Structures are given as structure tokens and as C-alpha cells.
Structure 1
Amino acid sequence: MAPAGIQILSKEAAKAQTEILTDDALSFLASLHRTFEKTRQNLLVARTVAQQRLDSGTPLDFHPETADIRADPSWLCAPPAPGLEDRRVEITGPTDRKMVINALNSGAKTFMADFEDSNSPTFANLLNGQVNLRDAIRRQIDFETNGKSYKLSQNPAVLIVRPRGWHLEEPRVLVDNEPISGALFDFGLYFFHNAKELIARGFGPYFYLPKMEHYKEARLWNDIFNFSQSYIGLPHGTIRATVLIETLPAAFQMEEILFELREHSSGLNCGRWDYIFSFIKRRRADRTAVLPDRSQVTMEVPFMDAYVRLLIQTCHRRKVAAMGGMSAQIPIKNDPKANDIAMAKVRADKLREVTNGHDGTWIAHPLINKIAMEVFNEHMLGPNQYHIRREDVKVAASDLLNTSVPGKITAEGIRSSVATALAYSGAWVGGNGCIPLHHLMEDAATAEITRVQLWQYVKYSSRVADTGDTVTAEYIDSIVDELVPTLVSGSVTAKNLEIVAAYLKKQVRQEWPSEFLTSDLMRYLAVADGVPEKWQKSVL
């Protein structure tokens, strides 16, 4: 029987999971919800209002009301917490048991265990992920499968956890007849069960915070951190959090975001794929913002380069880490030539990051750790590069909004986008949030780019450079129908492809694209978990 006011709407009831959903932990989640849910909802409404202003032609700019914060050189963020002084290579991935062990053993400095973009939030995935992280922290995660043993090394990577973004709800847990925030569910369970144990082992509760769009959203996280530390009796400032700058509005508020979290901040990260997604989505009413094929929107194009340079300058001014982003390439088996080409791209990407002044980078596969580590070891001799101030950098609003991106919209690029959107979304509905496709590691962020680009091409009747065709909804339909039968696999069923094909066809016909495909498709996971119909939000 759950504490008063709390309902668990799921068929999942394994013993290990009930160890996570304890009465004390649920009471903590309820306290978080009752204290902060109204603020979260108000901030989500503010996002909608801000988008309406952008649609009406009001340009994005740096906020005049916070000019004093940006101009004041005196304030600094908290010093690095134990284990976060040197973050030159961070590996990321979902929280399944094998992945957690392999990532912690990869040789990377830290492991970002992900409840967000590389995770399909079935209730089993979420709860088993919490179990796996709890066991890893206590060095009790060893297990055997198919005759192979997995166990932690003597010096595993430092653990950082990414909860879901503010926009996502957890429909299987109700507090006072309202779904709890997915972010608070993920954060709250991990913090409640593990914060004191982490400190006892010489580290602390460390987090990555995704998809924020305003400094007031960072203020909400800071308030939650203070509340949570007081709730279990920890000093304020114990928590550390790195914010992913992966939305266009947040790029104009980097200083303010750090200021709000300064007691708990461990830096900012270039969430490059979500940033491209946000660039398209937030400029949805601007036909001049139509971008070429996804593969041609590189880190060297003007708006991406400006965002990177500003992030590094901002972080080093405030003495925190400026983390680089993810190379999507993964090792290619049985094709040495293709693998050499892919790994050369990874090496060039990491070299660009370290020479720009980044303090670390992301990888998605343990076998890439060696390449990334070699590049950073050669060019970053100390634990970080906070001393590289980049005072030469001058980034104006126009630089962050520059749409002069060389490249074309091609037939092959569109086919690739359709295939990625369908294959990833189909896997996600089936419970898998991270898939290799065409030698790239795809997650929700890359799928979102493909979805909104296809919408954008239809919205503005874009022309296909190599065929002369105009992109219409019917043009996309024909590619969808052609590709669906070819994408059935062990992780993508025909039934789920039918669901996401209908979804994509509807999306390209909308006046405006949906905010997030994960919000749209969450209903299917809720159905599978046994959530009653009245608690399911259908947008399809």
C-alpha cells in the first residue's frame, strides 16, 4: 500500500523494483511534486508563450534584465567536486545492467547513465535502471549471462545521472491524482537511495540536466537541490549538476543558467544534436531557417561554431567545465576501410574540441575511448582547460542565428531521415531507446532532427537538389511506404513500424511540429504498462 495520495499505475511489481519504490522514497517523491509541480507547469506555459512571440517575428536576443549578471566578473561557480576535476572523456548510455558495467569499466573518466534520450521510459527500464545504479554504487552489480561474467573493475568511471527533461511526465505514478514529473521521478529515486552512499565512498550525487530553455528552469532545479539536501540532511552544495545547452533559447542565457546553479554547478555541455533540433523547432515560422541534409549541419557551420565558442568562454570565465559533444560514429565490424574513415571522423571531432578549449568530450561506445583519450591526453596536459579564457571570442545574437549553412537537400538525405525517424521511433515504442543505424548511434535527439527537418521541408515546399522534386506530404508518404518493410528487425516490429509510420505521416502535415516525439509516443508505453485509459494522454 503506497503512502497517502500516491498511486502506482503499473503491472510492474518485481521484488527488486519494490525495493526502489519504498514508502520512504515515494513520500520523498510526493514532497517534491507537491512543492514544485506548480512551478514546473508555469515554466512549461512560459515556453509556449515564448514560442508564440518567436512565431510572430520577435527575434531571440540576450536578456536585458540580466545584463548585470553577465557583466559582473566577480561571481564564480563551485569548485569541482571529488571525481569531477578531470572529465576529459565521458561515456554515455542507457542504464541496462550490461551497459552500466561496460561503461563504468570503459576507461573513461565518467559515465553519464541516461534516463533520457538513450532510454525508452518503460516502467521496467526506469526501475531496473535505478536498481542497476544502486547496485553499481555499492559494487554489487556483478552478474552472469549466456555463460559470460560481468563485474566492475577496481577503478570504475565516476557516475553522473541524467534524468528526463521538464516536459516529460511519469504517467505510472500519480500524486494527488496528477502524474509526477519524469525529471523528479528519475532524480528523486536516485538521490534518495544513493546520495549518502556516494558521499561515504568519496564522491557525491552528480547530475546532467537536459533541455532547459530559460534560466528560471535552472532556478527550479537549484531550489529542488536545496530542498532535497535539507530533506535527507546533507549540506547545501553537495549536489553537482552539468547543464546541457541543447536548446536555442538557452544559448542566449548560459551565464544566467550558471548563475542560478552556481552553488551546485559543474559546467555546461554542448548537446549538439538536440541543439540542431531546437534551432529548427524554435525557428519554425522562419522560412530562411530551412537547413540542408542533417549530415551537412556540422560543428563548423556558423551558428554551431558560435554556440561552441560562447559556451567555452562562458564556462571558463566562471571556472567550470565546458564539455564537448557526442560523435555519432561507432566502430564498424568486418569493414576495416569504412571503420578507418569513421574513426578518422571521431579523431578530427575530438581534436577540434580540445583545441577550441573544451575540458572533455562524449563518446557512445567503449571502443572509442582510446581515440578520444589519446587526443585529449596529447593536447590537454592538465586536468582541464579553465585557464583558457577565450577572451578573443565575441558572439552576437546574429551569430547564434546565422542560417548561412552550405549544403543541399538531397533525395538520399531525405530517405536517410525517414529511415532514422521510423527505425528509432519504432524501437523506442518497443522499449529500446538507443540503436545503431547505418554505423551511427541514434537516440531521441537525432530522431527529432529528422522529424522536424521532414516537417520543415514539407512546410516550405523545399526543392530536392538532385531530382528537382518538390517535397510534399505525399512525397514523404511514398518514401515511408517504401522503407517500412525494409526496417523490420529484432528490435523493430512490423506493428510498431505501422504505428510510427502513421505518426510521421501525420507530423509532416501539421501546421507546427509537436514539441517532442517522446511525449507523443509515451501513450504506447503507458498502455503496455497497464495504465488505465483515463490517465493516458493521446495526441495521435
Structure 2
Amino acid sequence: MSQLYITPERLLTYQDIYTDEVLQALEALAPLNAKQKALMEERNQRRADRIANKTLLDFLPEETCIGPDHLRVADIRLGDFECSTIPEDLQRQWIQGTGPAAKPNAPLESSIRNVAYALLSGADGWMFDGEDALGQINAMSLDNQRNLKLAINRDSKFLEIAEKVSREMNKWSESFFGKPIIDDWKAQLDFTTLIFRARGLHLDDRHIAMENGESFSASITDLTLFVVNNYKALQAKGSSIVLYLPKIQTAQEAAFWNTLLSTLETHLGLAKGTIKCYVLVEQLEATYQLLEIRAALGLHFVGFNTGRWDYINAVADAMCGIDDFINPNIESITMTYAYMGAYEDRVRKAVNTPDQNGNFSLWQGGMEPNIPVGSEAGVKASMEKALAGAKREQAAGASGKWVAHWKMVHIIRPVWEKIGETNQLGREFGPLTYTQEDQLALITLEDAPLTIRGGRNLLSVALQYGNAFLQGFQAAALKPADFFGNDDILYLME
């Protein structure tokens, strides 16, 4: 390789992942690494300037041009842009699950069970996480890729594990629902659309560097390894190649992702727009540029996802220079809380704004972190709360929802099954506007408890998560220390 250096030990141990085709594609995308570094420098400088000057985020000026195609903001807001039509296997995504495809320090037989649980869950889609929920220790990012490749290609090792897992899942289901959830385990494996979340632009890969010693983008790495290793098998099944893109803050960053996707498609001889992507709206800055992000990703873009926990933290970070911006206790910041409601409203309006061809995009609702493990009373109360949240999001216009555990799929999915609509594309919510009132709504606080207990809970969760994180478990079941030993209060997956 002329531009890149990969640790020899990893090259040898993961020859099935670092194939010749993958290495050639990495070389083709390597020149884009410098742009990733520049974008992250710009991101850090914007944040430093906001803190120093105590300035607020705002919408882009209409004369701004975005990306190498010089998309003009004023034109985008008039609908002069083109996004993707929704592929058949993404049109109904009532429930998407999320979690990593690997476990830390685990043999293949144990690690790949994660994929089996996901693909047998009955979820319409499953986002296999290479970022937030995947431990970034040792070679976990490569184990994650290996497990997905084995599952997509229906390797005999995976099928053997999947059959065992299906029996375990049915045993649980018979005790919880009084009936099995899997009839034909082999057929069930093909029900769920497989989606991959690459690492964000802020992260570097630990196994690859530029020949000059400069760090190499984890986003380029994950995109290349997942797509190149699996696109032929996915296309042979008639499945879409789908990514979730995390932590995007600006339309310029989205345009860079568009360049990455298009460059890889050209290298592989794929038509432009073959690779589809959702964007997780996790950053306050991104919420000021939603339509522009959608336009910048063009034919690759299929939808936005809204979340709660990450977004609350991103708001706090974006506002850290404003002395009087103090969030209340986090349990008070629900999706109907002042700035959260404004965020959700802009997302649903952005996806239901037609492009120049009349196409709309999807809105996937936020995470349901409950896990049905605890006392009978605790599970009953938590499941009622989870169902109420799902019903609210469905009524608000979401085409589906996320769950953090396979056991939640058949608890939440009936909310959408009862309505029966494939999706809510094009539902009317009124136009996006860009007034000062809109600007301030996205950072508006409302009266809610702000107590020592709330601060103590945050510290407790931080310590628990830090403990899990250092062991390689970036998806962990947590609850406030005040309720340890109380099975009526369930652990939540974070």
C-alpha cells in the first residue's frame, strides 16, 4: 500500500476483512483523509469561538453554498434539491433495533450471538453499531465487521449459533407472551433489513494510519470495510446497502460524507446513490441545518432519526459558554420538553418537505431504552410507559421507532401494526421557517426540577457507564444508584 500503513498483526489476523478489494478501496479513499482532518479543525474552532464570544447558533445565511456542488441555501429552502426515493426494504421500518455485532474479549461463538438475536428479533431493521454501542478496545471494530460478514454470507458457524439462539428466544417468549416469536428460524433471518452505523468524523481508526504517520479516519475505514466486504452479497439478496451516519454537525460535513459515498461507489462501479443513509440528528448545530444536510447527501439520503440522551448532552455542550443555560434533572427533559419538542418538530417538517421530484424522506423515532427484566410490577409499569412513548411518536408522525433490546421488539411493534400504515411519508406538518423565534425555540428551557438528587443520578450513571466502557461494553444497562436493589425500577439500556 502506497498511502496507508496497517498493523501487520491485524493484516494477518483479519485477512478475511482486509481483503485485496478492501485495501484497494481504502487506497482510493485515502486522499480524502486530509479533508476530514480540516473539517474537524473547523468544528473545534467554531466551538471555541462560540464559547469565547458567548454566541448562539443560528440558521445558515441564504447565500451560503454547500459542498463541491455549491448547493445554495436559498435554493434548497425552495425545494431545489434531489434526494433518494425510498427503497422497498426501507419503506416499512416500524421497529429498528440497535446494538453492536460483537462482544468484548469474547470468542466468535459467543460474540456472533449478538447478530443472531438481532436478525431473529422480528425487527423491521437492525442498526449494527460500529460507534456508540461498540467498545473501541483491542480489535472490536474488526470483530464487528467479521461477524456481520459471516452473518450476511450465512456462514455455517453463524447458522449453527442462530439455530441455538432461536430456541432460547422462543423459550423466553413462551414464558413472557405465552407463545413463540419464531416459527421458521432460517426464514426469519431474512426478515430484518441489516443497517450499519459507521463511526463519526471525529474518530480515528486504531489499526490504520497514513504512511506519514498521520491518523486515519474511522469513518472512511468503517464505510469501506462494511460496503466492500458485503455489497455483493447484499445486492444478490435484493437488499439495500444502508448506513446510519452519526454526529454530523453541519451541512458541509454531510457534503463530505456524500463525497465519501460517491467516491466509493465510483471505485466499485456502483451507480450513484446505491448506498443509502440515515442521519442521526444528535447535534444542536445540525438541527439548524436539517434541510441543507438532507440536500447535501442527495441521492444517498433516506431519513433522519431523533434521539434523546445524546441530543440533550449535545445541547449542553453547544451551550456551555452561556452561563445561565442550565438543564434541569434529566428525567424532566422528555421529548415534549421545550427545546426537545422544537427539535422534533423541525425534523418531521424537514423530512416532509418535498424535493424537486416530490420525494419525501423518513423520520425514525427515538430510542426506547427499557428492558423487560425486573419485578412483575416494575416490568408492567415500564412497558406501559414504553408503549405510551411509542404511541406518542407514531401520532407525531414518526414512521417507526428504535429499541435497545430484542425483547422489546414484539412489545412495541404492535403500536405500528395496529395503525397499519407502511410509513408516514409526506404527512403535512407545515413549512420549515427560519425566524428568530425558531432559532430561540431550539434552546428554550422550561421550569422543571433542578435538584441535588438529579445531579447525584448523573454522577451515578456516569460512574456505571465509565466502568462498563473501560471493559469494552459501550451498551450498558444502568439506573440511578438511589434505586439499586429496587426491582420495581428497571435498568435502562444506554
TM-score (norm 2): 0.84
Q: What letter corresponds to residue 204 of structure 2 in structure 1?
A: E
Residue 342 (structure 1) aligns with: 382
In structure 2, relative to structure 1, the CA distance for the partners of 1:301 and 1:200 (3 Å cut) is same
CA distance in 2 between counterparts of 1:20 and 1:382 reads 39
What stretches of structure 1 of length at least 5 have no aligned partner?
444-540
Residue 362 (structure 2) aligns with: 321
In structure 1, the residue corresponding to 2:58 is in which secondary structure?
Answer: coil
Q: What letter corresponds to residue 49 of structure 2 in structure 1?
A: R
Which of the numbers 142, 152, 168 marks the counterpart of 1:137? 152
Q: What letter corresponds to residue 421 of structure 2 in structure 1?
A: G
Residue 431 (structure 1) aligns with: 472
In structure 2, relative to structure 1, the CA distance for the partners of 1:186 and 1:123 (3 Å cut) is farther
Q: Is the aligned partner of 1:308 residue 2:350? A: no
Q: What letter corresponds to residue 424 of structure 1 in structure 2?
A: Y
Q: Output the aligned Cα RMSD.
A: 2.1
Residue 401 (structure 1) aligns with: 443
**Which digits, 9 at most, give the CA deviation of each residue in 1:44-70, with x for residues without a partner?**
111122113321122211111354134
- Greater mean alpha carbon deviation, residues 275-284 or residues 140-149: 140-149
Residue 370 (structure 1) aligns with: 410
CA distance in 1 between counterparts of 2:189 and 2:460 reads 42
Number of positions where the alignment pairs a residue of Structure 1 with one of Structure 2: 436
CA distance in 2 between counterparts of 1:105 and 1:171 reads 32
In structure 1, the residue corresponding to 2:392 is in which secondary structure?
Answer: helix
Residue 165 (structure 1) aligns with: 200
In structure 2, relative to structure 1, the CA distance for the partners of 1:148 and 1:368 (3 Å cut) is closer
**Which digits, 9 at most, give the CA deviation of each residue in 1:186-236, with x for residues without a partner?**
111011111122112101210000001110110011111111011111111
Which of the numbers 229, 245, 250 marks the counterpart of 2:286? 250
Larger relative contact order (Cα-Cα within 8 Å, sequence gap ≥ 6)? 2
Q: Quick check: 2:120–2:166 contact (8 Å CA) kept in 1?
A: no
Residue 172 (structure 2) aligns with: none
Q: What letter corresponds to residue 461 of structure 2 in structure 1?
A: T
Residue 26 (structure 2) aligns with: 29
Shift of 1:14: 7.1
Which of the numbers 1, 5, 9 marks the counterpart of 1:7? 5
TM-score (norm 1): 0.77
In structure 2, the residue corresponding to 1:45 is in which secondary structure?
Answer: helix
Shift of 1:74: 4.8
In structure 2, relative to structure 1, the CA distance for the partners of 1:305 and 1:24 (3 Å cut) is same
In structure 2, relative to structure 1, the CA distance for the partners of 1:14 and 1:145 (3 Å cut) is farther
Q: What letter corresponds to residue 399 of structure 1 in structure 2?
A: A
In structure 2, relative to structure 1, the CA distance for the partners of 1:148 and 1:277 (3 Å cut) is closer
Q: Quick check: 2:97–2:404 contact (8 Å CA) kept in 1?
A: yes
**Which digits, 9 at most, give the CA deviation of each residue in 1:365-420, with x for residues without a partner?**
112112321111223x3211113120177671111111225222232x22322222
What stretches of structure 2 of length at least 5 have no aligned partner?
65-72, 103-111, 168-184, 355-359, 480-489
**Which digits, 9 at most, give the CA deviation of each residue in 1:80-103, with x for residues without a partner?**
123111111101011121111111
Q: Quick check: 1:82–1:202 contact (8 Å CA) kept in 2?
A: no
Identity %: 28
Q: Is the aligned partner of 1:353 residue 2:353? A: no
Q: What letter corresponds to residue 171 of structure 1 in structure 2?
A: R
CA distance in 1 between counterparts of 2:239 and 2:165 reads 30
In structure 2, relative to structure 1, the CA distance for the partners of 1:94 and 1:351 (3 Å cut) is same
Residue 91 (structure 2) aligns with: 85
Which of the numbers 449, 452, 456 marks the counterpart of 1:415? 456
In structure 2, the residue corresponding to 1:159 is in which secondary structure?
Answer: strand
**Structural mapping, 1:175-324, within 5 Å:** 175-176=210-211, 177-318=213-354, 319-324=360-365
**Which digits, 9 at most, give the CA deviation of each residue in 1:439-458, with x for residues without a partner?**
34444xxxxxxxxxxxxxxx
In structure 2, relative to structure 1, the CA distance for the partners of 1:69 and 1:95 (3 Å cut) is farther
CA distance in 1 between counterparts of 2:36 and 2:138 reads 22
